[in-house]
Structure 1
């Protein structure tokens, strides 16, 4: 089978200093996406993902695969909102050739532009998978630990070169002053060829849709991997959930970092004991400890991946300290502390 690509592009903020060109190369086998930025942007060598310590997040390390989120699972209601698309762009006269590709029902074709928009974008949202990451070199990391896991969870530092060889490059999020003004920028062209593929029209616009946020989120310095091959909606529970699971490439994890409060609930227990100035035996015998105990048990098996915990440095800043899991025995975890990493 030949893998011939249909190329398509969408230019946002055309002629302005923040112009971006969104490109999609579509074939029967896959879709490759690209964004040309207004100035040269270097791809970070490493990016961070913050997690709560729960059953789902532990599976990332246990099964070596991540979950590519449906847009409805993101924490900003404006993120990938259908309201960012102009209703009139879904006028059935303008898109009648495209609509028949999705739904040839006359009632659907004669529906209001808003209903048509809602049904089409709901279908396309199910194809989108998003994995959000944050730059490592930022003074906002204290906030991220608080936002995403109350300092009690963990973070994974990825080797972006290895991830990108498997998934394609991540995209730098565009932070807009007012997303209300962006509606006009995602409208469809007023003319099109009769035989033009609907995916050619939608995909580069979907790419932009998946990579814009309000400027108030700009401190996150977010990058996103965007997948167009997911076939599951958690809203309707239709499709195949496994299409949202993406395998991690070998050796793509550079570090695991535990939050400042990861051991907080274990410090004052009777069975917790200070073995030496640098070694502590932590008690994990309670029922609510089991997720953390399972995480530490998995990390013990991955001793080749450096493990850190966030601590106060002498100048009262938060820095990662190298730690080692010496032993896990009878629901007790022996942790040895190393040096604080300040570079």
Structure 2
């Protein structure tokens, strides 16, 4: 077992009898783990396809929007040189490594740090979730208020994963030397759960998903790694993993709605029909509890609320939302 305190949190890495890495994160204050978590989605082809075919995409850090997320400079290059050389020997000849290292050692270390991160995340992928479906910023940033948020019971996911772990929001980060595989695991764990404190509002929880046995996952940036291909990072889950689906406040256009009373909403799709129809058909066919996000402006507050209910298909591009009492 390897244990280290970084940015005031404790990170623990060990290995089980099957040589599978085990991770643990202990925050400086007790944080209650939610029973379910939400993931926000924009109304795009990829997001709708993932919902309708029951899979999550386990991202590589190169696909994130935060420049410092899983930051490669968390590696202490000066104290990790031996490990770097052993790692690169799987991809380059000893002669090429010596040549590149001697010509510009500083640039070489930065390059290798990027390589190490890219290689590690061929074995792991990340899924970001959050605690609430009523966050104004999350709806605005991740779905433009036109998308949807899925509430997941992550305990029934069939694939191998670690977490969920809360994010360690900090104004600074620490460097880690990597001299063996346990320290590489520590680097992965710390790198995957440390973020700039400006992102604190997201209340993010993160899953670290293992690549399928004896496989590696697709790497999106470094050309030599891209050419190796790999698993498509799509991980299927059972329908029972979905607890509810929330639709953003602008999912429907005003002219698509006809609310005769508080309990019943009639819907006739007129814009972005194909994607909306796919989502609503999936929800109604599987009788998934749903929420329509609303505003609390009538209470003179900048908060969000929701209407609980079920969707029923009534015709071509037509639906009915029946709210709970």
TM category (shorter chain) comes to 0.7 to 0.9
The equivalent of 2:220 in structure 1 is: 234
Gaps of 5+ in 2: 102-107
Aligned residues of 2:58 and 2:233 also touching (Cα < 8 A): yes
Per mean C-alpha deviation after superposition, the further-off stretch among 150-159 and 57-66 is 57-66
- Partner-residue secondary structure (3-state), 1:231: coil
Cα deviation per residue 1:96-155 (whole Å; 9 max; x = unaligned)?
Answer: 455545644321244232233233332223333000011128xx7111111111111110
Q: 1:215 to 1:273 in 2, by over 3 A?
A: closer
Aligned residues of 2:11 and 2:190 also touching (Cα < 8 A): no
The CA distance in 2 between the partners of 1:221 and 1:274, in whole Å, is: 34
Aligned ranges 1:1-343 → 2 under 5 Å: 8-13=1-6, 18-25=8-15, 30-92=20-82, 95-97=84-86, 99-100=88-89, 103-110=92-99, 111=101, 112-136=108-132, 141-163=135-157, 167-179=161-173, 182=174, 185-188=175-178, 198-229=180-211, 230-235=216-221, 236=223, 237-240=226-229, 242-249=231-238, 251-264=240-253, 267-268=254-255, 273-274=258-259, 278-286=263-271, 288-303=272-287, 305-313=288-296, 314-315=298-299, 316=301, 317-339=303-325
Q: 1:133 to 1:336 in 2, by over 3 A?
A: same
The equivalent of 2:105 in structure 1 is: none
The count of aligned residue pairs is: 308
The CA distance in 2 between the partners of 1:278 and 1:41, in whole Å, is: 37
The CA distance in 2 between the partners of 1:256 and 1:324, in whole Å, is: 10
Aligned residues of 1:129 and 1:244 also touching (Cα < 8 A): yes
Q: 1:101 to 1:201 in 2, by over 3 A?
A: farther
The CA distance in 2 between the partners of 1:224 and 1:114, in whole Å, is: 26
- Partner-residue secondary structure (3-state), 2:163: coil
- After TM superposition, the score normalised by the length of structure 1 is 0.79
The equivalent of 1:3 in structure 2 is: none
Aligned residues of 2:217 and 2:233 also touching (Cα < 8 A): yes
Per mean C-alpha deviation after superposition, the further-off stretch among 127-136 and 20-29 is 20-29
- Partner-residue secondary structure (3-state), 1:268: helix
Cα deviation per residue 1:306-338 (whole Å; 9 max; x = unaligned)?
Answer: 111011345254211013223241222233344
Gaps of 5+ in 1: 1-7, 190-197
- After TM superposition, the score normalised by the length of structure 2 is 0.82
Cα deviation per residue 1:252-287 (whole Å; 9 max; x = unaligned)?
Answer: 2111111111112xx226xx655556434333245x
